[in-house]
Structure 1
Amino acid sequence: MKTVVYFVLLTVYYVTMTYCQQCRQVTSTVCDDDINSFSRQRGDKGEVGFPGKSGREGRKGSKGDPGGVGDKGNQGESCALGSLGNDIVRRLTGLEDFVRPDSCTNSLLDGNQFLRNGLKVYCEDRWTVFQKRLDGSVNFQRTWNEYKLGFGETDREFWLGLETVHRLTRSGKCDLRIEIQAFDDTYSWAQYSSFYVESEADLFRLHASGYIGNATDRLNSHNNQPFTTLDRDNDSWGRNCASDNGGEAGGWWYTSCWSSILNGRYGEDGVISWYGSPPPKTTAMKFRCD
């Protein structure tokens, strides 16, 4: 009898334990699935919080060594036109030389010219004319300042100005040419391969050498002489050569006093002279520099 009861109780226990174990497995599976499913759901976005404090500024790094000089690049073509642009630039440069040359030597035009440095000059066959006598219409008995700055009109009689002559000849690489036509229409000329005029501080001293021509060299005795005018006596004579002959001599590079003077009173009986030649009717003094 005890054996039967014991067997029944054992069976009930076994069935109960098996059922509970299955129940725990099912419950665990269902709960785990619910928990996992709930954890995968995203909640509502919360409000933006207040910004935090800025962090401390980092230490400034040390300056690096300067880089080396790069290779020079190739010259680019002008504008977007390529070789055509380069050609246009070359032509415009040539036009600038034509319209505003840096000297009469580079000018293709005769007459009044404004050089690239702003000076106004008179060009003639690529020479710069700085003195012209034609008919005696301009008085050449002038003061120092007038000879310094110039006077007259270039289409008639004029003197360009010693300051301008100095600025354009100070390189020393210039030729001087003097052209003289007498009242009997005899033509003569004298040319010097080295010519320049010093600054006002050096009294516009004349330097002219290397003579050729069919007129006698009448600047030889005036070479290396300072300029003299009615109001500025710089010659080596005991009196002012510019005021000699009643003040008709005009400004010139006098010694004591002259073997040539092209700025004197005009006329066949005037003071204007190139010694040894007939009285000049027209004169021109011009220079050309390299």
Structure 2
Amino acid sequence: MLAPVIVGVDGSEESLAATEWAAREAARRDRPLRLVHARNRQPRQETGEQSPAAQRYLARRSLRQAEERVRRTGLDVRLDDEQVEGPATAALLKSAAEADLLVLGSRGLSGFTGFLVGSVALGVVARAERPVVLVRAGEEAADEHLPGAGGGASVLTGYREVVLGIDLADPCDEVIEFAFEEARLRGARLKVVHAWRRLSPLGLAPGEIGLLSEPERAEEWLGFLTAVLQVWREKYPGVEVMETVTQGRPESVLVRAASGAGLLVVGRHLTERPAGPRTGPVAHAAIHHVGCPVAVVPHV
């Protein structure tokens, strides 16, 4: 049995937008779609916990709303739903272990503030061992597509590009393959971005890349990127790839590069540190400040 695309639903607008995105993704992947609601998500401390009957009612209502949103898409996806017990983060992590992909909502803010990502979503992203996609409230099918002839929204045009943030010091096959596959499923261009930073020559051996001029360093990094991607170009010959190397802080470079994209893909180390799981600075910046859906792919 194929692992499903799973989406966490709670009745909020962001979770409904995530549900629609997950339905489209399930159709692209030819996977079943499972709606999951975690009961006892946020007990109301001031009035006591909701009764089990009230929790079941709210769960059923949230699932019905999500089911209706899926039906309105007109997509032919195999659909089921599930109510799970316990704190939302733990419940969703348990569900994610069975998923091909887990999709969650994030609440959009405006301007320079970025996007508000709740503690549940952050906790899941930081600990999940499967890819997690965060979708902002208001995301629609047309947002994945290029503008129409008159500049308006359309679902009949080609897909916007998929952007992959890559660290050439630690390129990860799982993250790269995820991005290539997402581009293939959409017939979209894949834009691969690496950010390099100016280094002090102190401590570098003669001839190392840090001693080159900035144009030479950029050319060297681009050569490294081309070499890393060569095997993936051969595996995915139908995917158009655009390689970009830019000097600057990776967080800032990636946020700018994702402007106008349909999907951003970043990686996250699975290794736990003494302080506990972390998303890492690049993934953290992406999920807070990038407007398009963000896929966080765990890797060792």
Larger Rg: 1
TM-score w.r.t. the length of structure 2 is 0.22
Q: Which has the higher helix share?
A: 2
TM-score w.r.t. the length of structure 1 is 0.22
Structure scoring higher RCO (CA < 8 A, sep ≥ 6) equals 2
